Chains A and B, each alone.
Chain A
Amino acid sequence: MKEQSGGDLLERLGSDLSAAILLCLDDPADLVRLASLSKSWRIFVISNGFCKRLCLRTNPEISCFVRAIEVGGYLGPNMFSSFWSNKRKSTLTFRLSCKLCVIHEIKIQLPQAEFYCRASKCRFRLGHMRNENATPEELLAEDFIWTYVSPEFSMVEIGDFQSLKLQRPVVCIGGVLQFELLSRDPSDESSDMRTLIMASRVKAIVCPLAPAFEVSLLDRMGDSILMYFPGAIPYLEDFFVQEPSFSSRRKFWRKAKRRRKNW
């Protein structure tokens, strides 16, 4: 009965009006519920790509995916240590333990009041490295592809962790997070900013998409393939907090060279 009424409803509204209504919806749960009304609604929603369109609208950073493929079985979770890269004088670059995840919140803690006086704002970037095997010493600014750059956040709290509230959850494609402190004086190139950034603590509240989803970076321009492992859906984890340790840097690269893991 429900199947028949769902199909009749689509016929009564017509494809143009139905499409116009679906494009007005901004919650993917509503699209999924409509797709479950009947077989004809399911075909209509999937064949017209409404879920994909909504996802691109809410998370434009995923436009780098040129293709999506479904893979049987699944890879185990890749738990890599994070590292600090300090080539830039006021940036801190590290890897999250997931190559593909959703970031809901970033927390920053500046060490002392006098350091706070020098840094008025901060921002962060998400993306990946052009060369996955490069060492921190080799990295330059142009070696990263950023899929998301945050707005500037004012630094207002000293001592406790300050939460950088995002307007929406952001998909991190590639697992690289770069945090940058912006000096009150744009011409400030003193070593104090380097000291400040190294003494800061950064936490990221992430929701990993692995092992159900993985990203395969296609080329150096940033195009990627989204891999889907339907068998791994039950193994999706809840949120967890990522805070890389200071001591992990050298240890990570020694281990990485030994393991020769493929990101």
Chain B
Amino acid sequence: MASYERRKVTLKSSDGEEFLVEEAVAMESRMIRYMIWDGLAGDVIELPGVKGKFLSMIIDFCKKRVAWAAGGDGTLEGLKSDFVKVDLGTLIHLSAASFCLKTNDLVDLTSQTLANRIQGKTIDEICRALNPEE
């Protein structure tokens, strides 16, 4: 097993929360992956566009995904459907965070989930569907 898979890296959110994760998990984010490959990542990688609450959820998904890819239980579809079982406001924030981190499959997943909420709806229903305050 390559040694880089055991290395750990610290991710720091916009509100100061720090998460120590394996490099393989962190590299699920293309943005972090390219930083590491290009040698631009220090001991702590700062992510000013992502709050701790949502970074934690994305890290959790990435850990489960890496474990699944290594032969773990469950299905990828199951992991994805659990990830989007959240309220609308959280879903919008998760989508924005996925954009920031360039985790493309999460961008596709959250965008498609939001699109499903407005397909076939009237204008008023679209406003209600995409308004987290209602």
Interface residues of A (CB under 8 A from B): 2, 5-6, 9, 12-14, 16-17, 20-25, 27, 30, 33-34, 36-37
Contact = CB atoms under 8 A, between A and B. Distances in A.
A16 B7 CA distance: 33
Interface stretch (B15-23, B56-64, B121-129): B121-129
A33 B122 contact: yes
A11 to B, nearest CB: 12
Of B96, B122, B130, most buried by chain A (CB within 10 Å of CB) is: B130
A21 B111 contact: yes
B contact patch SS:
helix
Interface of B: 92, 95-96, 99, 107-108, 111-112, 114-116, 118-124, 126-127, 130-132
A17 B126 contact: no
Contact of B115 (A16, A25, A37): A25
Contact of A37 (B114, B119, B126): B126
A20 B123 contact: no
A30 B118 contact: yes
A21 B122 CA distance: 16
A24 B119 CA distance: 10
A24 B121 contact: no
Given A20-B111, A34-B118, 8 more contacts: A5-B131, A9-B130, A13-B130, A17-B95, A17-B111, A20-B107, A24-B111, A24-B115
A200 B66 CA distance: 60
B111 A36 contact: no
A9 B111 contact: no
B119 A34 contact: no
A13 B92 contact: yes
Contacts, number: 57
B112 A24 contact: yes
A contact patch SS:
helix
A2 B127 contact: yes
A34 B96 CA distance: 20
Contacts of A36: 123
A25 B123 contact: no
16 contacts: A2-B124, A9-B131, A12-B92, A13-B130, A17-B92, A17-B95, A17-B96, A20-B108, A24-B114, A24-B116, A25-B119, A30-B119, A30-B121, A33-B126, A34-B118, A37-B126
Contacts of A6: 127
A33 B121 contact: yes
B67 to A, nearest CB: 27
Given A9-B131, A21-B115, A30 B120 contact: yes
A21 B118 contact: yes
Contacts of A22: 115
Contacts of B107: 20
A16 B110 CA distance: 12
A13 B92 CA distance: 7
Contacts of A24: 111-112, 114-116
Contacts of B127: 2, 5-6, 9, 37
